[in-house]
Chain A
Amino acid sequence: MRITIRLFARLRDIAGAGELVREAPGGATVGAVWAGLVAEYPDLSPYEKSISCAVNADYSRFNATVADGDEVAFLPPVSGG
Chain B
Amino acid sequence: MSAGTLITSAPLDPMAVVRAVDPAGIGAVVTFLGLVRDHNLGRRVLHLEYEAYEALARRGLDLIVTEATAQWPAVRLAIHHRTGRMEIGEASVAIAAASPHRAHAFAAARYAIERIKQIVPIWKHEYFEGGDVWIEGATADPGNSEAREQALKIACA
Contacts and interface: CB of A to CB of B under 8 A. Distances in A.
Summarize B's interface: helix, strand, loop or mixed: mixed
Contact of B138 (A8, A13, A73, A78): A78
Interface in A66-81: 73, 75-81
Contacts of A57: 53, 55-56, 59
A80 B55 contact: no
Contacts, number: 91
Interface residues of A, number: 20
A75 B117 contact: no
A80 B123 contact: yes
Summarize A's interface: helix, strand, loop or mixed: mixed
A59 B143 contact: yes
A39 to B, nearest CB: 22
A51 B122 CA distance: 13
Contacts of B137: 77-79
A59 B122 CA distance: 14
